[in-house]
A and B are shown apart, each in its own frame.
Chain A
Amino acid sequence: MTSLALPVGNFRTGEARTCDTTGLPVCLHAQRFIKLNAVCAVVALLVGAIGAILLGLTRWPAVHLLPADWYYRVLTLHGINMLIFWIIFLEIAILYFAGTTLLKTRLASTKLAWTSFLLMAVGAVLTNITILQGTADVMMTSYAPLQAHSNFYLGMILFAVGALLGVGNFFACVWIARRDKTYQGSMPLVAFGALAAAIIAVVAILHGAIALVPTWLWSLGLMDAPDAGWYRLLWWGIGHQSQQINVCAMVSTWYLLATLTVGAKPLNQLVCRSAFVLYVLFINIASAHHLLVDPGVSAGWKIWNTSYAMYLAVLASMIHGFTVPAAVEVAQRKKGHDRGLFGWLVKAPWANPGFSAFFLSLIIFGFIGGITGVTLGTQQINIIAHNTLRIPGHFHATVVGGTSLAFMGLCYYVVPLIFRREYAARALCRLQPYLFGIGIVLVSIGMSFAGSYGVPRRHWDVEFSGAPFAKGFDSGAHVMLGLMGIGAVLAFVGLLTFILLTVHAVFLGKRNEGRAMTAW
């Protein structure tokens, strides 16, 4: 069961095992928290997924499922569980992995990890209960002066503090690894990407605290309402920055999966690392992207903070968008898949869900998410995009088709390697990333083009029936909303498949302790 020799690194006896597949050391304390956080992440994903299908079927005008109050309630629930709980729980799990296994070091503090985990779990439960009680129908953004019950803010604050402690534990691991010299020279690229994500996380969470703590005090009646404009600036300090954490974590996952699935290695480490540094340096006031048609901030401020004159964070994504497929291509050609322009891609292991999820994520993030994101975030173009369905159309391509899909691909390795259980129903596993990927592409395209007709986001009835003035949208918009609805059904089936397969594998999957994982 456990390996005979003590794994390399600074572990005490019985504190670590050697991975039977990769040969890397796994700290058993860190392993427990990787598991706990990953399980919570999947629970949040399930809650968000149930929300997703209800919302998709409500915004599909032909179905229009939920009543108005439940539509707005479920929308709040969906946004927070997907964008915050699912993703941040999994990112903390990734930090525990990157901070220990990749640096060959032990978890810095088990106590801190427990505190972090409990705060996050309690915060998530408190916020979700408050939303379901119907006292926090304020959307994920909870724009003041629209007010939620104080427990909504308290839950978010507890969750954020917990996440911050988790990030702190990661920094402590890095410090211990350096002190004990468990690695020499530079840290592995994936750990470096995780470090970039962790730094951005600190900046993001501090913004969150400045935005949410006064708002919480206001909801308790202890302070005046925060200024609407300042609240937006500060809230997006966490709202947008946290998306940059996602990008960093996703790109790190791309590099990781490229290595695990086709043995790819980065062509030029300097280029990859510099791109991560650009993320850290040029995302500071990215909340500007959300204030492009706001009053009170000047055109100069908007233009400057949108781009810092050079769009260097965009440049970073464009660089990764080249180096990741290039690494795959080089690795594939070296294996002899050398025919023509795309022989390497045709011969790629498309039946391996780790690979297909990773590569679809790369394509969806780049071609749909990236292009729409930069366009929407252009100061003047935002006039014809702000708060329309174009916005969720964009971020469903980045954070769902990109980050979530990449994280699913990661799970196809995390479960066999960390939980040491095998996935069953392998054929279904192989199909799952395609089902989800195609669904989310339809969702994203449907939303984007419906938004181009002016269809608003966060809106229950685009026919405005009962309003003083009403005029429905062009029939083209309805076609696009239908496309979105069909995509939502496909993506939901794909997502549910993923959750069922993963839950089954975690609790009932065949154990693989003592031998390498069954190759995909």
Chain B
Amino acid sequence: MSDPKLVDRLERERDTEPGDHKMPGTVVLTALLLLCFVVYYFANWKALADVWHVR
């Protein structure tokens, strides 16, 4: 393989200015995660509320 070494390839890519990164896909993915989280979490509180009272 005549590919330049990974390390050189990465070194050549300089960091761009912070702030110009776009990540809308990640935003949607994580929003979906949070939504699932909220639904599952509160469904469990509902299930708990249905069992016998205990202290």
Is this pair of chains taken from one and the same complex?
Answer: yes
Q: Which residues of A contact B (CB under 8 A)?
A: 20-24, 259-260, 263, 265, 267-268, 318, 321-322, 325-326, 329-330, 333-334, 341-342, 344-345, 366-367, 370-372, 374-375, 378, 380-381, 383-384, 452, 515-516, 518-519
B26 cross-chain contacts in A, Cβ below 8 A: 322, 325-326, 329
Question: Given the complex of chains A and B, what is the CA–CA distance between A259 and B9 in angstroms?
Answer: 11
Distance in angstroms from A387 CB to nearest chain B CB is 15
Given A325-B29, A326-B23, A341-B24: A381 and B5 interface contact (C-beta under 8 Å):
no
Given contacts A22-B6, A516-B3, A519-B3, 13 further A-B contacts (CB under 8 A): A22-B7, A321-B33, A325-B29, A326-B23, A329-B23, A330-B22, A341-B25, A370-B33, A371-B36, A371-B37, A383-B51, A384-B47, A384-B48
Which of B1, B28, B30 lies in contact with A519, CB distance below 8 A? B1
Q: Which chain A residues lie closer than 8 Å to B13 at the CB level?
A: 263, 334
Interface residues, chain B, CB within 8 Å of chain A? Answer: 1, 3, 5-10, 13, 15-16, 18, 21-26, 28-30, 33, 36-37, 40-41, 44-45, 47-48, 51, 54
Assembled-state Cα–Cα distance A372/B23 (Å)? 27
Closest-by-CB residue of B relative to A333 is B22
Q: Is the interface of B mostly helix, strand, loop or mixed?
A: helix
Q: How far is the CA of A344 from the CA of B8 in the complex (A)?
A: 23
Contact of B33 among A260, A367, A378, A519 (CB under 8 A): A367
- Contact between chains at A371 and B40 (CB < 8 Å): yes
Q: How far is the CB of B20 from chain A (nearest CB, A)?
A: 10
Would you call B5 and A22 a contact (CB within 8 A)?
yes
Residues of A within 8 Å of B36, CB to CB, are 367, 371
Closest beta carbon of chain A to B29's beta carbon, Å: 6
Shortest Cβ distance from A520 into chain B, in angstroms?
12
Q: List 15 A-B contacts (CB under 8 A).
A: A21-B6, A22-B5, A260-B6, A263-B6, A265-B15, A325-B29, A325-B30, A329-B26, A333-B22, A367-B36, A371-B36, A371-B40, A375-B41, A378-B41, A516-B5
Q: Which of A342, A380, A516 makes the CB contact (< 8 A) with B1? A: A516
B23 A330 Cβ-Cβ under 8 A: yes
Residue of B nearest to A331 (CB): B13
Q: How far, in Å, is B41 (CB) from chain A's closest CB?
A: 5
Chain B residues with CB under 8 Å of A519's CB are 1, 3
* CB of B2, distance to nearest CB on chain A (Å): 9
The residue on A at minimum CB distance from B43 is: A375
Cα separation A384 to B30 with both chains bound (whole Å): 28
Tell me, in angstroms, the Cα distance from A344 to B13 when the chains sit together: 18
Which residues of A sit under 8 angstroms from B18, Cβ to Cβ?
A: 267-268
